[in-house]
Amino acid sequence: MSRIGKKPVPLPKGVTASLDGKTVKVKGPKGELQVTLVEEVDAKLGDDGITLVPRDEMERARPMWGMSRTLVNNLVTGVTKGFETKLEIQGVGYRAQVAGKNLNLQLGFSHDVVYPIPAGIAITAEKPTMLTVSGIDKQLVGQVAAEIRGYRKPEPYKGKGVRYAGEYVRRKEGKKK
């Protein structure tokens, strides 16, 4: 049985939730999010929050139960606190700057990489080599950070590229004479 799925998702003050069939909608101070649950899991709204229960004892229902509870919990966390991912840029001449609705990345290519910032995402550049991707949708924040990192992944010989803050890059020894 799922240990994560057994716990109800608490709703803090200022957060309201509604159920519409298989769709769970959560509204809070930062915005509104929704998720559609899989067929094997049902949601119930109670005094202690949103409780998820598996429909029947199918093999697929057990993993979906815990996953669905985590998705609903991410909605509640997103509309209250939000999510953020930090990126570091390392390399001589590598830098980034936010220009309106676009992110300009100079990553050693012949031309700058222009990344259009999607709706619901805020990207800030504290320093030219530090980026913060923030928003209320955890999946979208992670996707945007992964796409930016994908333009120039950290390479193992000099460590140049875009990496997550705190990411360890295993370094290799170079050619010997």
Two structure tokens written together for 19: 């159920």
Supply 11's token pair. Answer: 């709703």
Among the listed residues 121, 123, 117, 116, the one whose alpha carbon sits nearest the alpha carbon of residue 31: 121
Q: Where are the domains positioned within the chain?
A: 3-80, 83-164
Token couple for 12:
């803090």
160/155 Cα distance (integer angstroms): 6
Evaluate whether 34 touches 22 at the Cβ level (below 8 Å).
no
Burial class (CB in 10 A: 0-12, 13-18, 19+), 73: buried
Residue 75 and residue 12 in contact, taking contact as beta carbons nearer than 8 Å:
no
Q: What is the pLDDT of residue 138?
A: 94
Q: What is the fold, at CATH topology level, of the domain defined by 3-80? A: Outer Surface Protein A; domain 3 (3.90.930)
Integer CA distances (angstroms), 77 to 15, 32, 81, 166, 177, in order: 10, 11, 6, 23, 55
Helix/strand/coil for 140: helix
Ordered mean pLDDT values, 10 residues apiece, the chain (177 residues): 80 90 91 91 89 85 89 93 95 93 94 94 93 94 95 93 93 88
Q: What is the fold, at CATH topology level, of the domain defined by 83-164?
A: Outer Surface Protein A; domain 3 (3.90.930)
Tokens of 162: 């875009």
Q: What is the pLDDT of residue 175?
A: 87
Task: Write down the pLDDT at residue 1.
Answer: 54
